[in-house]
Structure 1
Amino acid sequence: MPDSTLPNKRRRSAKPRIERAALKLFVHDGFDAATTREIANEAGVSEGALYRHYKGKDELALSLFMTIHNRLGVMLRDALASEGTIEQRIYRAVEAYCQLADEDWLLFSFHLVSLNRYLPNDTRRDDDPVSILEKIVAAMMEAGDVPKSDPAVVVSMCLGVVMQTGLSKIYNRISGPMSDHVDILSKGVLAVLMQK
Structure 2
Amino acid sequence: MGQKNITWHQGHISKSDRQKLNNKIKSAVLWFTGLSGSGKSTIAVEIEKELYHAGILSYRLDGDNIRHGLNRDLGFTPQERTENIRRIGEVSKLFVDAGILTLASFISPYRKDREMVRNLLDKGEFVEVYVKCDLSECEKRDPKGLYKKARNGEIKSFTGIHSPYEEPISPEIIVETDKQTLQESVNQILNYLIKNKYM
TM-score by length of 1: 0.30
TM-score by length of 2: 0.29
**Structure with the higher helix share, 1 or 2:** 1
Larger relative contact order (CA 8 Å, sep ≥ 6): 2
Structure of higher CA gyration radius: 1
**Structure with the higher strand share, 1 or 2:** 2
